[in-house]
Amino acid sequence: MSDNPLNIRQVHHMEFYVGNAKQADYYYRNAFGFSRRAYSGLETGDREKTSYVLQQGTVRLVMTTPHNPDSHISEHIRKHGDGVRDIALEVDDADHAYEMALTRGAVSNEAPHTLKDDSGEVRRASVRVYGDTIHSFIARRKYEGPFLPGFIESNLDGRDAGLLRIDHFVANVELGRMLEWEEWYKKVFGFTRFLTFDDKDISTEFTALNSVVMANDSRSIKFPINEAAPGRRKSQIEEYIDGYYGPGVQHIALLTNEIIPTIKKLRDNGVEFLEVPDTYYEELGSRVGSIDEDMEKLRDLRILVDRDDKGYLLQLFTRPVEDRPTLFFEIIQRKGCQGFGKGNFRALFEAIEREQARRGNLV
Ligand code: FE2
């Protein structure tokens, strides 16, 4: 059996369905430092929806809003609020990826079709995964346009914050369904389990969760799948699923090579991060040992550090970027460590629980 039966290369883009794409475009440019690179909407002949394509490093986010209330996009927003609809994957051959996925047990969302404009053509298909989330398969055939057929170039530079690529993204699924989805990604995509965390790794006095990290053969795509584990109070996973009305993408981790200036810039731009208590920094030196960064700067910016046998990582988590307690972002810098910040889980989840309690959701 091939390790990559669908010939998946990497994440092509992530598409969000949002209530107001014009304002989301402004927010991701001015707060997160993305630059607008392409546009599609009424002016380009799309009567159904408007989309803005935002890019920073190799990270491409597409913000899409519907024009009418009967659209499936409107239904998605009515149910979920703003959130990730599509984790689109670049493949060698979309027809092959789609046929292979269906043969291996995937449910179709959209059969293969050709998208075309003056810049060339692209073949696209999609399958359904957890909740209302889908994976598109995208195969470019010498396509020269700024994004995909139907989009025009639209350049508006944002305040670049040094974000380079997607490090990982995370799915929250219902209690008891994590292993089912692990099996799905193994069987359908040929991915393997890269790491496991259980409630002994990820628990506080009140709540716990389980997580398996899936990865493709080249490790260019890594994504944990989380489920709640039984605890005394409602976990952050349950809060997410209640708020999103189903499973979905919980966070997207973006890689930087210089986390100190990146976090400084994002904070200056008004991005809100989880509050890390002073006590975290009192024990940090003894926990992670010697690191290159100035501890004072890390403390000032509230950056978290974790170490494993291969090195260390620095990370920080935003608050949810919607009013529902759903999707948030992680900013991460890796110095050898390929983990996910296990040593920070407790401090992090306690910080999340304080915010959950303020929302009346730690019950
Ligand atoms: Fe993460």
What are the tens digits of pLDDT across the range 24-77? 999 999 999 999 999 999 999 999 999 999 999 999 999 999 999 999 999 999
Q: How far is the CA of 207 from the centre of ligand 1 (A)?
A: 18
Give the per-residue pLDDT at 2.
Answer: 55
Q: How far is the CA of 214 from the centre of ligand 1 (A)?
A: 13
Measured CA distances, 122 to 115, 142, 216, 339, 362 (Å): 5, 8, 23, 35, 47
Same domain, 213 and 309: yes
Give the per-residue pLDDT at 286.
Answer: 87
Residue 13 has pLDDT above 60, yes or no: yes
Same domain, 43 and 107: yes
Residue 136 has pLDDT above 80, yes or no: yes
Q: How far is the CA of 317 from the centre of ligand 1 (A)?
A: 8
Q: How far is the CA of 341 from the centre of ligand 1 (A)?
A: 8
Nearest to 135 by CA among 184, 199, 193: 184
pTM: 0.95
Q: How far is the CA of 170 from the centre of ligand 1 (A)?
A: 7
Q: How far is the CA of 19 from the centre of ligand 1 (A)?
A: 26
Mean pLDDT of 154-172: 97
The CATH number of the domain holding residue 96 is: 3.10.180.10
Full residue range of the structural domain in which residue 95 is found: 8-156
Same domain, 267 and 291: yes
Same domain, 222 and 121: no
Mean pLDDT of 308-332: 96
Give the per-residue pLDDT at 351.
Answer: 82
Q: How far is the CA of 221 from the centre of ligand 1 (A)?
A: 13
Q: How far is the CA of 247 from the centre of ligand 1 (A)?
A: 17
Query: Does some domain include residue 2?
Result: no
Among 141, 156, 171, the domain-final residue is: 156
Same domain, 124 and 206: no
Q: How far is the CA of 256 from the centre of ligand 1 (A)?
A: 14
Write the pLDDT tens digit of every residue in 196-213.
888 778 778 888 889 999
Same domain, 96 and 152: yes
